[in-house]
Structure 1
Amino acid sequence: MSLSEPDAGRRARALRSNFRRITAVLTGVMLLALTGVTLVDVLGRYFFSSPLPGATEMTELLVMAVVFAGLPAICLDDGHITVDLFTANLGGRAAAIQTAAARLVGAVILALVAWQLWEHGSRLASYGETTIYLRFPLGPVAKAASVLCAASALLLLAMTLLRLPKGTSEDI
C-alpha cells in the first residue's frame, strides 16, 4: 500500500480484509460441520446400516447457510460472476461507471430477493412450517437469508455511493 493511496481506499482494503477473515472462519466452521454430517452419515450407513437421522435436512440447511453467510463477503470483494466480453478493455472513467452500474443492479436484485425471502419466511412461519424429520422451523431460516441478502444489497449500495475502488480477493 502506498502513502498516496486515498484514505477511502485504505479503509476499504482494511474493512474487506477483516470482513473476509471473519467470513472465512464462519463459513469454514459451517463447511466442517457439513463435512462432519456427511462423514457420520456415510459411516453409519455403510458400517452400521444406520444413517444419521436428519442428515439430509442438516445438509440442506448447512449448504444454505454457507451460501448466504458468504454473500456479503462476495459483494464486498466485487466477486460476483461476470462476463467481460465487451467491458474487458474499459479503462478509467468508463470502468468506474461500469463498476457503479453493476453494483447498483446487484443491489436492486439483492434487495428484491431479500424482500421475497422475507415474505416467504413470513408465510412459512404463519403455517408453522418445519423440516420433516428434525422439525426445525423454516420461517426463521428464510428470514435470516433475507437479512443477509439485504445486508449485501446495502453493502453494494454503500460501495457505489462511496465510490470505493473495485476489490478482488487478491487485495486481501
Structure 2
Amino acid sequence: MTHENFPRVPETDPSSGRDRAPVPRNWPRLALGVVCGAMLLAMMALTVVDVIGRYVFVAPLQGATELTEMLLCAVIFLGLPAVCFDRDHVTVDLVIDRLPACVQPWRELATSLLSAVVLGIVSWRIWVYAGQKASYGEATNSLRLPIAPLGYLCALCCALGVVLTVVAALRQLTFQLRRQ
C-alpha cells in the first residue's frame, strides 16, 4: 500500500474557510500513527487489567499507573511533529479575519515563527530538565524505570516540531503567494 492511497489534508481550513497548502500523507506520518495507536491500545489494556485486578482479584497491576503516565506523555509528544507539519494546532480567530487578504500570508508566517520559537524554548528546557534527571538517575517509584530517556524523547519531538513548523509555514507562504 503506497502513500497515494491515503487521503490528503483538505485544502481549505474548515474553521476559517481560507485555502491552505495540501499536505501529502507519507510513511513517517503513517508509522507515527501506528506507533501512537499501539501505545494507546497498550494504555487501554493496562487500565483494563489494572481495574479488573484491583476490583475483582484485589491485586492491582504493579506499576500500571507509571506505565500509563509514561505512555501518555510519549503519545502526546510523538503526535506533536505531525500536528506541526499539518498545521493542525488549535487556533482562535477573533480579529484576524478582518485583516486584508494581502496581509494574511505574512501574519500566518509570523505566527508560525513565533510558535516555532516558543516550541524551541520548550524543547531546550525539557532537554535541560532531562539532563538533570539523568545526572542523579531519577526513576519511577514502582518499576524503577529511568525518567530521563522519556524527557529526551519529548525534547527531540519538540525540536522536530520546530523544524516542521517552519517548513509548513514556508510551504503555506509560497502556496498563498502563488494563489494571489
Deviations 1:120-149 (A, max 9, x none): 000000010000111110111101100000
Deviates more, 1:123-132 or 1:82-91: 82-91
Work out which of the residue numbers 93, 102, 106 in structure 1 matches 2:102: 93
Structure 1 pair 165–48 and aligned structure 2 pair: CA distance change class (3 A):
farther
Q: Which amino acid aligns with 1:87?
A: I
Work out which of the residue numbers 42, 53, 73 in structure 2 matches 1:64: 73
- What's 2:23 paired with? 13
Q: Secondary structure at the match of 1:148?
A: helix
Query: What aligned pairs does 1:148-159 form with structure 2 within 5 A after superposition?
Result: 148-159=157-168
Equivalent pairs, count? 155
> What's the offset of the Cα at 1:91?
5.9
Structure 1 pair 138–164 and aligned structure 2 pair: CA distance change class (3 A):
farther
Query: What aligned pairs does 1:18-167 form with structure 2 within 5 A after superposition?
Result: 18=26, 19-90=28-99, 92-162=101-171, 163=173, 165=175
- What's 2:12 paired with? none
Q: Indicate conservation of the 8 Å contact 2:81/2:164, yes or no.
A: yes
Distance 1:124 1:80 in 2: 30
> What's the offset of the Cα at 1:155?
0.9
> What's the offset of the Cα at 1:23?
2.6
Q: Indicate conservation of the 8 Å contact 2:86/2:168, yes or no.
A: no
Q: Which amino acid aligns with 2:23?
A: R
Considering Cα pairs closer than 8 Å and 6+ residues apart, tell me whether 1 or 2 has the greater RCO. Answer: 1
* TM-score relative to the length of structure 1: 0.83
* TM-score relative to the length of structure 2: 0.79
- What's 2:5 paired with? none
- What's 2:17 paired with? none
- Runs of 5+ unmatched residues, structure 1: 2-8, 167-172
> What's the offset of the Cα at 1:159?
2.5
Q: Secondary structure at the match of 1:13?
A: coil
Q: RMSD of the TM alignment (CA)?
A: 1.9
Distance 1:91 1:21 in 2: 37
- Runs of 5+ unmatched residues, structure 2: 1-7, 9-20
Distance 2:120 2:71 in 1: 23
Percent identity (aligned) = 40
